[in-house]
A and B are shown apart, each in its own frame.
Chain A
Amino acid sequence: MLAHRLFVTGGWRQDFRQHTVSIADFEVTSIPSQEKVLNVHKQVLTDFGHRGRVTCLQVKQWADGNVMVVTGSAQGAVSRMRFRVPLAPGSALDQIQMVDPDTDTDAGILCRWQHCHTDTIAAVDINAEKQQVLTAGIDGQLHLLPLDWDPGSAASTSQTCYSDQKGYVSYFAAQWSSMDTFVTASTTGGLQVWDTRKRSCRQSDLKWGLTGAPQDIGKGTARQIYSVATHPSQPDKCVSGGSNETVAVWDLRFAAAPVAASTGKQNAGDVWQVQFDADYESGTAPSPPILFCTDDGNLCRVDWAGHGAAALNQMQDNEQQRYNSSSNGHVSDLLTEASTVHGFDVDGTDIVAVVEQECMCYIKRRSQTF
């Protein structure tokens, strides 16, 4: 079976000394009946130069095939790009249509949309229902940009500014959790939930520590949350990833301490991206399993389901899996590299990961859902 997996990456090209955003494709040849991948061929479809380091990137596809890419830069500018993918099965790659986001013409470009932050943008997230883009920066500002925002209207950035903490907060991560609420992580510690209807903010109790993992309490400012991901269908569920391989699953009502948390061994890498794994068998576990990547080169999956002696014996046979005595989740490595795993994305059983060594990894897993 031949399948195409389209993805967007942001990065640095050493040969041209340029920051870029690329749309690329994986052509995956596989035998589904044998669950075997025969060949994966990567092809870069288009490549755009990006002003400044790409610090965050968000892709959203609508049902009509329209795709929007929003990126944030280290200089505080938001850029966007639009293209249309053909929806008919068997369509060729050349049917992908680039669209100019401003004029709606076919001249596809990555254009600078708004320079709303004064420094690095830590996160961008598109709210498809409300047609809004949330941006959070280390300058302590949160912006809500309407998708039809016209940069040419010469309106000031203060119109889109939702909150400005004037440097007394630096945001590390932000994501929409429902149509009207979003969650952020910052130097304040823990998580904050913002409600755009009431313009209110709830803060997690700091007695649970800055990262939500009991092991991190009292470890000082070296322990922070760097990434958050909300559950696609359960608006009250959120997972955070932070220093020292710490991941925690939170109930955003903050009625109790994080549902589950896991932290790595001493001097383990930081978690800069985390996601809920949709591919699992629902059981007695308190939370769905999660996937995260670390700066010391691991792509891991944490399973919160209870595991007994039998599972532990099995693990001793397999070096790829390790059990962390300080955690209450079972951590298994999907990928181990010699250097940083910069990011990943998961779609069902397929995972694509970006590794520092200028390479991409494609992982096809055996499905666990029956």
Chain B
Amino acid sequence: MASEGVAGTTYFPCRPGCQIDFRWGLGRDLLLAETSGPIQTTESTFGGAQWDEPSSAQRQVAYDTMKLHRALHTQAMSEQDKAARLQSITEYSQEVASVLLAACDRPASTDHGQQAVKEDCCAWELLQLFYLFALRYEGSVTQDLVMWMKKHNSLLRGPEGSVREAFAELCGGIEDEQAAAQTLPGYWQVIQRLVLIGWTDDARDLLYVHSETQSTEDRQSMQAENAASHLLAQTDALLRRPPQVQPLSGQHNAAGTFLPFPDYADARDRWKADCLRLLDSPHWWDDCQAMAPDTAQGLRITLSIMSGNRDEINNIAASWLELLMGMLLYGLPAKAGTRHNIGSMITQCLNQRLSPASPSPYGHYLTLMEELLPGAAELDTAKVLAAGSQLSLWFKAHMPDILTAAPQGKSALQTTLEHDGGDLTEKLILAYAHSLMPYPTTWHVAAAYLPWCPCHGAEAMEQLLSQMPLTQGDTRLANQVLHECQLYGLPQVAVGVCRQMGVHHWQAGRTAAAISWFIRGHDDSRASEAAAPLVRQIEDMLANTSAGFQPTPALENLEGLLNSLAPAEAPANMAEPLQSHQQRKADSCLQHRGSLGFLQGFLKLQKAMTCMTEAKDHRQVQSAAASVRDMVMVLVGRKAAPQRMWLHLLFHVIPVIEASHPPVFSHKDTQLLLTRLQEAAVWISKDSHHQHQQHEVMTVRLALARIVAHAHLNAFQPTIAAEA
């Protein structure tokens, strides 16, 4: 737990004599329980530890990039030529970058999460530049780097703080102080640093507040000019139109001053010559030196930087990154910024500033860039992966999408890992998905990433879906999980989910919901068990022979559920002898359904009995009696009802038997019922508790005997019977 990479350790105090027991939860989730004895039957979880929890900004990024990631990988599965593939990766990376930027700007609840997104955004744009833009277009990356550094300046701070901080501090000082701006400490240094990294507009803003510039503004009409103001004006003029190369990312500036690379090289040489020419005018410099030595000194260094004086560049640069920018913009020829040369330039700058013996004194992120920037510039995938592994799990999982744009990257990422089975891309996505699993808001994002893990994804998905927290009985969540199970072909997990939901409702005494879930999970035996209390209720009602047949209202509520069982066989055709195999099939079906089969039949019987009592004419009586007969034949004849109920059932339908005319029970039906009655009588005689039921047996036997007599009469004298 306290190993490297764990954000924080939580302490769980344990009572004396107790032990902490733990088990793994979902993804990066550890559940802890306090156990006091050696064997604890009911274990209560009292705490848990989670790490790499995504912050609100990170969750927003996760939601917004999920769709983009899925679209990119779905596209990759269709056949695409190389150019189209590169185009789709570029579009994807730009959309992701805009998502990251939006998340950086949104007000966040925690600084930590926002910081992680900012770091991801900075690294993402860097990879995008070298792996996508620089590979696709010829030209210089200089201007892209200037813009990148401007955007992420707060992260890329050296030991002396970032340029923007220094600039903001100075601006604050200028507003407060009454003294001339140039007398403020660090005034010239900030201007020089701004010029060095290419932020010429900000440098001009500072030159504008120089007291000499201000006074020139005031006395413009007098046309008189001193040396300092002349030099300031000339420097300002040079800074107003610095040669800027067209960025490879294809961005444009408002003024449209970006030059194509060949033109840029020429314009840059001319501009540097202009800077040198201004430096080489002793008349003005001498006057300025006499008048304002600080201004002369400051301007001289600024112009030296602009003209490409490497010593001055080295002196002013606060970090290796600023040194690199100064070198690319002024110190080295224009072609140093091209894809083929930039790698060695970065290495040179790093070597110049960092000695291998002493560790880097800079902030964490700039140290990371020491690896990432040269790695990206040289398209060295191993180096990029090593540096990227210090960033967030989101970044690690999405970084391969960009790296595969370069042929080197593709081969490195798709090599199967030894002892693992999957490749590196899969491993990174899997780690990211694991980090999203234990949270109610992000589990579905994890589920969306797992299909892209061909080797271990199915296993992880099964683990995720089977461990969803369904103990609260959240139907909606369970349905969502079942939906995912269906989508990814995990029928076993679906059965487990249905069982878990069913048991949850069963424990709480919700019979209907429990049966509904068990039926859904094809768990007939548990469904039957869940229905057992209702069967007992019916049994008690039937056993009370003195009260007559009383309908059970609870049973009617289950009608919808019982109807949704496998379609019942047609009882109307009972008069026709069933083929033996049909009979066997029907019997096994009913027995298999257990109490549900009984309830299904009994509900129909109950309905028919109610119809019988409510019947208004003979036709209705006959039709209800026919339904009663059908269900009696299913329940008793085909043994859908438990044997102990046969006698009671037959006893309760005697009034129906008696009331129908002509009798609805055929000779064959009655024979079968007599056999069943005999079986029931044998069962009763074995048990001394049921001795008092002997008279019921006699009554039923008598009623059945009367039917047999009627049937005989009908068979031999059909005309007489009809007249009667």
Docked-complex contact B561 and A15, CB < 8 angstroms? no
By a CB distance below 8 angstroms, the chain A residues around B563 are 189, 206
Per the 8 Å Cβ criterion, residues 124-143 of A in contact with B are: 138-140
Docked-complex contact A120 and B473, CB < 8 angstroms? yes
Per the 8 Å Cβ criterion, residues 160-208 of A in contact with B are: 165-170, 172, 186-190, 206
Known A206-B563, A272-B476, A339-B444; judge A170-B59 contact (CB<8 A): no
Tell me if B78 counts as interface (CB < 8 A to partner A).
no
Looking at the complex, which one of B441, B534, B560 makes contact with A12 (CB distance below 8 Å)?
B441
Docked-complex contact B560 and A15, CB < 8 angstroms? no
Per the 8 Å Cβ criterion, residues 95-111 of A in contact with B are: none
Tell me if B592 counts as interface (CB < 8 A to partner A).
no
Contact with B along A344-369 (1 / 0, CB 8 A): 00000000000011110000000000
Docked-complex contact A338 and B448, CB < 8 angstroms? yes
Tell me if B558 counts as interface (CB < 8 A to partner A).
yes
* Beta-carbon nearest neighbor of B516 in chain A: A221
By a CB distance below 8 angstroms, the chain B residues around A206 are 559-560, 563
Tell me if B486 counts as interface (CB < 8 A to partner A).
yes
Tell me if B66 counts as interface (CB < 8 A to partner A).
yes
Tell me if B399 counts as interface (CB < 8 A to partner A).
no
* Beta-carbon nearest neighbor of A295 in chain B: B480
Contact with B along A265-302 (1 / 0, CB 8 A): 00101101000000000000000000000011000000
A contact residues, range: 35 or more
Docked-complex contact A170 and B513, CB < 8 angstroms? yes
By a CB distance below 8 angstroms, the chain A residues around B473 are 74, 119-120, 138
Min CB distance A36 to B, Å, is: 22
Per the 8 Å Cβ criterion, residues 556-577 of B in contact with A are: 557-561, 563-564, 567
Docked-complex contact B440 and A140, CB < 8 angstroms? no
Docked-complex contact A168 and B56, CB < 8 angstroms? no
Docked-complex contact B109 and A168, CB < 8 angstroms? no
Tell me if A239 counts as interface (CB < 8 A to partner B).
no
Tell me if A39 counts as interface (CB < 8 A to partner B).
no
Looking at the complex, which one of B474, B509, B558 makes contact with A74 (CB distance below 8 Å)?
B474
Q: How far is the CA of A14 from the CA of B53 in the complex (A)?
A: 10
Docked-complex contact B510 and A15, CB < 8 angstroms? no
Docked-complex contact A187 and B63, CB < 8 angstroms? no
Contact with A along B368-389 (1 / 0, CB 8 A): 0000000000000000000000
Tell me if A53 counts as interface (CB < 8 A to partner B).
yes
Q: How far is the CA of A295 from the CA of B478 in the complex (A)?
A: 12
Which among A165, A222, A272 has the highest number of chain B CB atoms within 10 Å? A222
Min CB distance A78 to B, Å, is: 18
Docked-complex contact B110 and A15, CB < 8 angstroms? yes
By a CB distance below 8 angstroms, the chain A residues around B60 are 357-358
Tell me if B45 counts as interface (CB < 8 A to partner A).
no
Docked-complex contact A356 and B512, CB < 8 angstroms? no
Q: How far is the CA of A170 from the CA of B501 in the complex (A)?
A: 13
Q: How far is the CA of A168 from the CA of B567 in the complex (A)?
A: 22
Docked-complex contact B56 and A14, CB < 8 angstroms? yes
By a CB distance below 8 angstroms, the chain A residues around B63 are 338-339, 357-359
Tell me if B255 counts as interface (CB < 8 A to partner A).
no
Known A168-B512, A188-B557, A220-B564; judge A14-B441 contact (CB<8 A): yes
Main secondary structure on B side of the interface with A: helix
Min CB distance A40 to B, Å, is: 15
Looking at the complex, which one of B56, B439, B508, B559 makes contact with A167 (CB distance below 8 Å)?
B508
Q: How far is the CA of A267 from the CA of B567 in the complex (A)?
A: 23
Q: How far is the CA of A184 from the CA of B528 in the complex (A)?
A: 27
Q: How far is the CA of A116 from the CA of B179 in the complex (A)?
A: 75
Known A15-B110, A206-B560, A338-B448; judge A138-B510 contact (CB<8 A): yes
Q: How far is the CA of A96 from the CA of B178 in the complex (A)?
A: 48
Looking at the complex, which one of B448, B474, B505 makes contact with A170 (CB distance below 8 Å)?
B505
Q: How far is the CA of A267 from the CA of B480 in the complex (A)?
A: 11
Docked-complex contact B487 and A267, CB < 8 angstroms? yes
Tell me if A243 counts as interface (CB < 8 A to partner B).
yes
Docked-complex contact B516 and A187, CB < 8 angstroms? yes
Known A139-B508, A167-B511; judge A188-B560 contact (CB<8 A): yes
Tell me if A118 counts as interface (CB < 8 A to partner B).
yes
Tell me if A246 counts as interface (CB < 8 A to partner B).
no
Docked-complex contact B520 and A356, CB < 8 angstroms? no
Min CB distance B160 to A, Å, is: 35
Per the 8 Å Cβ criterion, residues 256-293 of B in contact with A are: none
Per the 8 Å Cβ criterion, residues 583-638 of B in contact with A are: none
Docked-complex contact B486 and A267, CB < 8 angstroms? yes
Min CB distance B721 to A, Å, is: 37
Min CB distance A180 to B, Å, is: 23
Docked-complex contact A338 and B512, CB < 8 angstroms? no
Q: How far is the CA of A243 from the CA of B476 in the complex (A)?
A: 10
* Beta-carbon nearest neighbor of B519 in chain A: A221
Tell me if A331 counts as interface (CB < 8 A to partner B).
no
Tell me if A69 counts as interface (CB < 8 A to partner B).
no
By a CB distance below 8 angstroms, the chain B residues around A332 are none
Docked-complex contact A356 and B561, CB < 8 angstroms? no
Min CB distance A266 to B, Å, is: 9
By a CB distance below 8 angstroms, the chain A residues around B23 are none
By a CB distance below 8 angstroms, the chain A residues around B559 are 188-189, 206
Tell me if A85 counts as interface (CB < 8 A to partner B).
no
Q: How far is the CA of A128 from the CA of B473 in the complex (A)?
A: 32
Docked-complex contact B110 and A140, CB < 8 angstroms? no
Q: How far is the CA of A358 from the CA of B67 in the complex (A)?
A: 15
Min CB distance B384 to A, Å, is: 29
Min CB distance A189 to B, Å, is: 3
Docked-complex contact A295 and B560, CB < 8 angstroms? no
Known A53-B474, A220-B564; judge A167-B479 contact (CB<8 A): no
Docked-complex contact B520 and A187, CB < 8 angstroms? no
Contact with A along B28-64 (1 / 0, CB 8 A): 0000000000000000000000000001100110011
Docked-complex contact B66 and A168, CB < 8 angstroms? no
Known A139-B508, A139-B510, A296-B483; judge A338-B67 contact (CB<8 A): yes
By a CB distance below 8 angstroms, the chain A residues around B55 are 15
By a CB distance below 8 angstroms, the chain A residues around B474 are 53, 74, 120
By a CB distance below 8 angstroms, the chain B residues around A220 are 519-520, 564
Tell me if A213 counts as interface (CB < 8 A to partner B).
no
By a CB distance below 8 angstroms, the chain A residues around B472 are 53, 74, 120
Tell me if A340 counts as interface (CB < 8 A to partner B).
yes
Q: How far is the CA of A74 from the CA of B505 in the complex (A)?
A: 13
Tell me if A210 counts as interface (CB < 8 A to partner B).
yes
Known A187-B513, A210-B564; judge A243-B479 contact (CB<8 A): yes
Q: List 24 A-B contacts (CB under 8 A).
A: A12-B440, A14-B439, A15-B55, A118-B508, A120-B472, A120-B473, A139-B510, A165-B554, A167-B508, A167-B511, A168-B557, A170-B516, A187-B513, A187-B516, A187-B560, A267-B483, A267-B487, A272-B476, A296-B483, A338-B67, A356-B441, A357-B60, A357-B64, A358-B60
A74-B473, A188-B557 given; name 12 further pairs at CB < 8 Å: A12-B441, A53-B474, A140-B510, A221-B516, A243-B479, A270-B479, A272-B476, A295-B476, A338-B66, A338-B70, A356-B441, A358-B441
Interchain residue pairs A-B with the least CB separation, the first 4: A189-B560, A357-B63, A167-B510, A170-B513
